[in-house]
Chains A and B, each alone.
Chain A
Amino acid sequence: MKIANMGVVAGIGLLAVACASGPEPTERLSSAQASIRAAKEVGAANVPQAQLHAQLAEEQVTQATKLIEDGENERAEFLLRRASADAELALALAREATQAKQTQAAEAIVNPQAGAPSPSLQATNQ
């Protein structure tokens, strides 16, 4: 019975150590932030889907920052990977929208009457 108790205590201790383990993911943090900035620069705010993913990325960065403050670096690292993935998707979506506009403009010059059929924008739900 004492052994069982000790096991529980040890387990909790190990868990705490595991969570706190690892260095602060500063590189990942700045990389995720850079990706978010890039997405905004490309005009993510004007593309609803891009805006959504940029927002998700920002929320995850905020959360990760808190985790780093609490010393939970490993968990923070994973959250930052999610954040980067969302920010990069936001960037890609914003670029796609810009390119689509440019293409439609170019096609309008060649063929002013016919409304060019648009290749459906990629639907990305979370």
Chain B
Amino acid sequence: MKFIFDTNLVGKGLLAAAAFSMVACATAQPPKELVDAREAYEKSEHGKAREYNPAALHDAKSALDKAEASFEEDPESENTRDEAYVALRQAQRAEVEASTLAWQARAEKAKSEATQAQAKAMERAQTDLASARKQLETEKAAREAAEAKAKDMLAKLAAANAAAVKEEPRGTVITLAGGVLFASNKSQLLPGAQTSLAQIAEAIKSQDDKKVLIEGHTDSRGSDATNQALSKARADSVASFLISNGVPQDRVTTAGLGPSRPVADNATPEGRANNRRVEIVIQQLEAK
């Protein structure tokens, strides 16, 4: 410590210190904060901030400039490090805020897409509803047409005299008394029967959703084989008449049932007369 009191030495020391300080100035390393701040600014300048957050990027630049100025003025000072620290955070914040805005933009896009999709779905639902309604209307119209046709048939059948019409589970059953249609033991139609049968043919020929089953029945007198053959022949006879009067052949079938299904007592003449009959069964065609 003695040399400190030597004026000469003090002078030399001051010179050395001055020289040292100049050297320090020329080669001063920027503090870590400043290096980080430069890097962070560089990053946000080339990141999302440029597009989404230019104002914050500008603020970050101002802060960095301030830190650089402080560094030039006094590289070692605490102030330089503080300014650089603040600049670093500002640059980081600019980028984070830009990222937030980018996320926001994506959310907006997603929301508008969702709205569009919803509108499209709504439109589709409305189209579906309209076509379903149209189909319902078509079906309703078809049903009404069929009902009208059936009604028409029943009206015509009611107009045909000598025919009893009944609704049964197997269909609409028209019963024709055997005595009106045929002479005893014959399967030839009597001329008087033809008017009624023509009216029946007229009523059912346009019922394209129906099939026609014609059943011949007899009373119990005579052999079963004879009755069976006779009932079948009578049914066929009625069938050919209906077909020749416009009922489509492919919808007509016949059956000879003989005495197997009496509707009245075979012990009385009236009962037997009732059992001798032809039944025309009009049935719904199975849906294809």
Contact partner, B4, options A4, A53, A78, A124, Cβ 8 Å: A4
When each residue 59-88 of chain A gets 1 if its CB lies under 8 Å from chain B and 0 otherwise, what string results? 000000000000000010011011001101
Q: Which of A9-17, A21-29, A89-97 contacts B (4 or more CB under 8 A)?
A: A89-97
Task: Report Cα–Cα, A122/B49, bound state, in Å.
Answer: 11
Task: Report Cα–Cα, A75/B82, bound state, in Å.
Answer: 10
Q: Is the CB of B86 within 8 A of A85?
A: yes
Query: Are A89 and B92 also in contact (CB < 8 A) when A1-B5, A78-B82 are?
Result: yes
Give 10 A-B contacts (CB < 8 Å), ordered by A residue: A4-B10, A82-B82, A82-B86, A92-B96, A96-B100, A106-B111, A107-B107, A110-B113, A110-B117, A119-B99
Q: In the complex, which residues 19-61 of chain B have their Cβ closer than 8 Å to any Cβ of chain A?
A: 36, 48
B223 contacts the other chain (Cβ, under 8 Å)? no
Q: How large is the interface on A (under 10, 10 to 19, 20 to 34, 35 or more residues)?
A: 20 to 34
Task: Report Cα–Cα, A122/B89, bound state, in Å.
Answer: 13
B251 contacts the other chain (Cβ, under 8 Å)? no
Q: Is the CB of B93 within 8 A of A99?
A: no
A100 contacts the other chain (Cβ, under 8 Å)? yes
Interface residues of B (CB under 8 A from A): 4-5, 7, 10, 36, 48, 78-79, 82, 85-86, 88-90, 92-93, 95-97, 99-100, 102-104, 106-107, 110-111, 113-114, 117
Task: Report Cα–Cα, A121/B86, bound state, in Å.
Answer: 21
Q: Is the CB of A99 within 8 A of B103?
A: yes
A102 contacts the other chain (Cβ, under 8 Å)? yes
Task: Report Cα–Cα, A75/B77, bound state, in Å.
Answer: 12
A6 proximity list for chain B (CB < 8 A): none
Task: Report Cα–Cα, A78/B85, bound state, in Å.
Answer: 10
B36 proximity list for chain A (CB < 8 A): 126
Nearest chain B CB to A90 CB, angstrom units: 9
Task: Report Cα–Cα, A89/B92, bound state, in Å.
Answer: 7
Q: Is the CB of A96 within 8 A of B99?
A: yes
With A78-B79, A119-B102 given, name 10 new contacts (CB 8 A): A1-B7, A53-B89, A81-B82, A82-B85, A85-B88, A85-B89, A96-B99, A99-B104, A106-B107, A106-B114
